[in-house]
Chain A
Amino acid sequence: MDEMQEILEDFLIEAFEMIEQLDNDLVELESNPEDLELLNRIFRVAHTIKGSSSFLNFDVLTHLTHHMEDVLNKARHGELKITPEVMDVVLPSIDMMKSLLESIRDSGSDKDAGLDVENMVKKLDAISKGEVPPPSSSSNSMAFESSPEPIQSVQKVEVHVQKNETKPAEDDIDYSNLSAEDVEKEIERLLNQRMEDDKKRRKELRNMGKDLPTAPLVNINDEPTPAKVEPAPKVIETPKPVAPAPKPIQQSAPAVSAPKPAPKKQQQQEDSKDQDSKSSAIEQTIRVDVKRLDHLMNLIGELVLGKNRLLKIYNDVEERYEGEQFLEELNQVVSSISIVTTDLQIAVMKTRMLPVGKVFNKFPRMVRDLSRELNKKIELIISGEETELDKSIVEEIGDPLVHIIRNSCDHGVESPDERLQNGKSDTGTVELKAYNEGNHIVIEIRDDGRGINAEKLKSKSFEKGIITEREADSMSDKEAFALIFKPGLSTAEQVTNVSGRGVGMDVVKTNIEKLNGIIDIDSEFGRGTIIKLKIPLTLAIIQSLLVGVQEEYYAIPLASVLETVRISYSDIYTVEGKSVLRLRDEVLSLVRLSDIFGVDNVFDSGEHAYVVVIGLAENKLGVIVDTLVGQEEIVIKSLGDYLQGIEGIAGATIRGDGRVTLIVDVAALMNLAKKVDVNVVSKVKNSGGKSKQKKTAKDYCILVVDDSKTDRTIMRKSIEPLGVTLMEAADGIEALNVLKGGDYTFDAVLIDIEMPRMDGYTLANEIRKYNKYKNMPLIAVTSRTSKADRMRGIEAGMTEYITKPYSPEYLMNVVQRNINLNVEMA
């Protein structure tokens, strides 16, 4: 049972792999009908699938593949010329084969796929007939068809044998040529022979079959086959009691499709011959469940976090115990662990990599179909298909590429006439290229078609209300190109089967954004278009830029960071209420990360700010942050169900110090940025002096900081006549805590200089760091009278400097002046 199941799974995985190859080969065949090697390869694939499916009792599939094989066989022998018309039948038949295989994968049977196999078979027959004149040959092929079917249908074979005794010898030879060491093929050859022979000889053959290891498989069949006739019972005698054929298969199995085909089954040998160098026959591979790889990746993630933590601790220790003997040893251990962890991570990442060719493979066929449908001549040139990407990403980029290529074919490449008129060759080319660039893979789709008409795009978007007239005017061509990603926009004059609904490019954008990718469009009107997709290599562990915003830290995926710039606020311009920065020849909109995430502005960020330029898909945005912490490798962790889907946050990571740092979702950030409409410059100016209306003296609040109780009391006594509210603190630290606590808004602080824990200068310094206390009067009340002390006080940010002893009236006046107290004295 399990054995059967395993065989079935392997069969499906291999079949799907082979079909991918088959599609490409067939398209290539169309342009190279003479290529015998190609034909042989295609034939072998069809043949292998047929062989295996007959072992596994998929009658419908066998039936179909057999007829395909028949057509191909004729072509191989030069009896049939491969024309586009022939291909128009062969390609759909392969599609049908795919659907049958899918149905087998999903339901375990090819019986209820709901496909009109008979019709297809007839078409295939017609083709093979078309070239071979005598009608007898068609019946010949019919017989041939049933020949390799499982033995259980022997009765069928028998019938056919009777029908046509004159089986061409060449078929026989073909099989033997082909199968060589392949056991499975051997059996088929035997079957063929048997077809020619009488019943007695067939018995002998069956005995031979028993000797072969896989033979029992062939014989297994508890499934009711159409009317078993005399020879059948004997077949069933064969010892192996294997179960009613196919069971539903695990979904995951075919999806695994590890980069290299597994070496398990005999077909493999042939399969690997078929494929190019990347899977040479001797290669040793093993199929692994993706779940296991995912688990492994998670564990590595934990390890990376541990490593980060270790590095951080090492740095702390290094500072504290500088010059100690053990530090050197610790350093060695830490570095070697760190190196091994990185290597391990790369190694595991590599196990998850798939060649991007997995996705590219389906495009030759698609372009071929499209060009016929659109009556255009289009050549697809693929390069770099061996470039590798993480499995999860490979799965995601398929759809966007389909849309882009369809677009290139439909809108980009012109009709042959138009091309000739424009002085181009009548065949348009679409180039699909993949290559590595740093931590990214770039997929480039280039066509030499008519290019994008920026003006037309603008007017169309204006018509549809996507942009305003003013926006249209101020838009650069490059910005205009980005309009093609807006949903509902299509420049196609009419909606065709292929495109024009304005949905496709929106899909592209969403999917690429999901992968943290960047889209770059370049187009020259009349000359062609280049679309570049820049996608990170992997998703689970990423490089990030850590930025500080006030007291908080955020991680921005480095993949989306284009550059960082240090600017002064005077470089910021305001255009239509939005803050922008002129960066070289581009105008960049700016947004404060603290505005987006609602971070309290407690510190003043000074004259300068850092702008992190982030790019995603085709958009760019400048994000203002307070500090750049550095680059760090982070492991993405989910925030859990409770906090899932917080806008602007992609997840969290644990830093070396054990703290949680949130990861910015760049795509969402860009959206949020549109909603946040705060003018960066004015915000800076205003943030200092917001105060509530004060009506009575009691609303004014003054903090008195002095370590001596007596001094505090004296100050209190002096100011009390004003009627203001007074708070006291015994030293700098305490004062700072009171201020930070935010329970009171103070209008002035009286500060003694000589204090334990934190002196008055430091306190003033600290207070001035806070935005809201930028302009608060700080009055030094001290017995230090030297000029140097005064100077120091001013430097620290003191507003007034009063020396002890002072008269109560003087202090009161100074305070009153500083807090603008106009209320009549109580």
Chain B
Amino acid sequence: MAANKLEQIFKRQKEQKSPNKSGENDNIIQLVGFIVGTEEFAVPILSIQEIIKPIEFTRVPSTPKYVLGVFNLRGTVIPIIDLRAKFGLGASKQTEDTRYIVMKYKDDIAGFVIDKLTEAIRISESNIDPAPETINQDSSLIYGIGKQKDRILTILKVEGLLKRDF
């Protein structure tokens, strides 16, 4: 009996939800926006494990410049990657707003240094364009370009960011 009831409730909930969604006739994607250099980027909120303030890290030799090293996140050793360097932007000093975003894709995990967090963004999939062909070489890093009312964001592909390319 109880199980039946539960099922009914679930059903109702589903019914309530789905028309809403189909009403917008699109999937909403939740993103977290951040700034690196002068541009705004975003990654899917679900791929973020956590966001922390900068902590001390240890340099790892024989790695590209953008790999700053590794840091200790509650007992786990995690690589830290400087997105500024990775995107070929000039280095800058850490500020009050600098954060490490720890991103995860399957078993891969790494922290990324960003200049500033902006906000959590809800964007419907129809507002996301594929990456322009001209930036082909970087396309593995870019999922698409999100259009908001007054701005555009580059949505990054987390698996691309976490892929080792050296």
A interface residues, Cβ below 8 angstroms from B: 302, 305, 552, 596-599, 637-643, 646-649, 652, 654, 658-662
Contact = CB atoms under 8 A, between A and B. Distances in A.
Contacts of B61: 596-599, 646, 648-649, 662
17 contacts: A552-B58, A552-B59, A639-B60, A639-B77, A640-B77, A640-B78, A640-B110, A643-B79, A643-B164, A649-B60, A649-B62, A652-B70, A659-B56, A660-B69, A662-B58, A662-B61, A662-B70
B58 A647 contact: no
B22 interface: no
Contact of A643 (B56, B57, B60, B107): B60
Contacts of A305: 75
A637 B62 contact: no
B60 A662 contact: yes
B41 interface: no
Contacts of B162: 642
Nearest to A552: B59
Contacts of B59: 552
Given A638-B77, A640-B79, 4 more contacts: A641-B108, A642-B162, A643-B60, A662-B70
A408 B110 CA distance: 50
B94 interface: no
B62 A660 contact: no
B72 A660 contact: yes
B72 to A, nearest CB: 5
Interface in B22-78: 56-63, 67, 69-72, 75-78
A647 B60 contact: no
Nearest to A647: B62
A643 B58 contact: no
B101 interface: no
A639 B58 CA distance: 12
A736 to B, nearest CB: 16
B63 A660 contact: no
Most chain A CB within a 10 A radius of its CB, from B57, B61, B63, B107: B61
B108 A643 contact: no
Interface string B127-166: 0000000000000000000000000000000000010100
A-B interface, 4 closest residue pairs, ranked by CB to CB distance from nearest = A597-B61, A660-B58, A652-B77, A642-B79
B109 to A, nearest CB: 6
Contacts of A642: 79, 108-110, 162, 164
A646 B79 contact: no
Nearest to B59: A552
Contacts of B72: 654, 658-660
Nearest to A635: B75
A304 to B, nearest CB: 12
B108 A639 contact: no
Nearest to A652: B77
A660 B70 contact: yes
A506 to B, nearest CB: 25
B164 A641 contact: yes
A470 B67 CA distance: 43
B103 to A, nearest CB: 11
A659 B58 contact: yes
Interface in B63-122: 63, 67, 69-72, 75-79, 107-110
Contact of A660 (B77, B107, B109): B77
Contacts of A640: 77-79, 108-110
Nearest to A305: B75
Contacts of A638: 77
Contacts of A654: 72, 75, 77
A305 B59 CA distance: 21
Contacts of A639: 60, 70, 77, 79
A661 B57 CA distance: 9
A639 B81 CA distance: 13
B150 to A, nearest CB: 36
A654 B71 CA distance: 9
Most chain B CB within a 10 A radius of its CB, from A552, A638, A641, A643: A643
Nearest to A551: B59
Contacts of A649: 60-62
Contacts of A646: 60-63
Given A654-B75, A660-B70, A660-B72, A641 B60 contact: no
Nearest to A741: B93
Contact of B77 (A302, A598, A637): A637
Contacts of B108: 640-642
Contacts of B56: 659
Nearest to A306: B75
A643 B109 contact: no
Contacts of B71: 660
B58 A661 contact: yes
Given A640-B109, A642-B108, A660-B70, A652 B58 contact: yes
A641 B63 contact: no
Most chain B CB within a 10 A radius of its CB, from A639, A640, A649, A661: A640
Nearest to A645: B164
A305 to B, nearest CB: 7
